[in-house]
Amino acid sequence: MIRVITIEREFGSGAAVIAEKAASRLKWKLWDQLLTDEIARQLDCARKLVEEHEEQRDSAAYRIFKNFMRGSFEGSLNAPRLRMVDTDCVRDVTQKLVRQVADMGNCVIVGRGSAYYLGDRPDAFHVFIYAPFQDKVRRLQAAGNSEKRAIELAETVDENRSAFIRQYFNVEWPERHRFHLMVNSSLGDELAVETILATMEGLSRQRVAAS
């Protein structure tokens, strides 16, 4: 029986809205911004700080600084006084939290590497949502970005996600064989939701019949 949906996505594909509608239809808990809030609570830091380190690598300059802090005498003295919220610590908390959420079941988890953390769970259904480039740009403009900024975001955010997945999971994002379903959101939000739920229901019946 499927109790968890993970939704990986291209930036600007509208996956957040689709995930919210799917969770509402199922009456399941949505873990999207709520996940960020809980990570921030556990790290005792501002939400914005977590957002800066989710699904992306730290800068080369920061990695050099962190290595220096780890290896230097001064760094060892100062480390306890420094609250270094970075990709590594955000990832560690995210991994534990995503698995705890999945154990509770009846949830839709958006991004944050959830499809990769939960890839071995038989009760999880993994979805990837994508869209043509111009559709993503239009969605981002509708959210209040200029055309130039929308294009920049559509081009760069997924590059950062890809680098994050490559570094921490040693796979090329999105590694399609990990997903049960890939949906083009240009079909429209409602049809995307219908496709996700119908496919999940069919897969769930198939698994029950095979058990």
CATH of the domain at 149: 3.40.50.300
Per-residue pLDDT tens for 15-33? 999 999 999 999 999 999 9
What is the spatial distance between Cα 32 and Cα 15, in angstroms, rounded to a whole number?
10
Exposed, middle or buried by CB within 10 Å (0-12, 13-18, 19+), for 77?
A: exposed
Per-residue pLDDT tens for 172-208? 999 999 999 999 999 999 999 999 999 999 999 998 8
Q: How many domains does the chain have?
A: 1
* 189 CB-near residues (< 8 Å, 6+ apart): 14, 17, 18, 21
Domain that holds residue 114: 4-210
Return the pLDDT at 207: 84
Residue 83 CA: distances (Å) to CA of 42, 76, 86, 89: 13, 13, 9, 10
pTM passes above 0.75: yes
Confidence of residue 90 (pLDDT cuts 50, 70, 90): very high
**Residues forming beta bridges with residue 107, ordered by sequence position:** 4, 29
Residues 65-69, mean pLDDT to the nearest whole number: 43
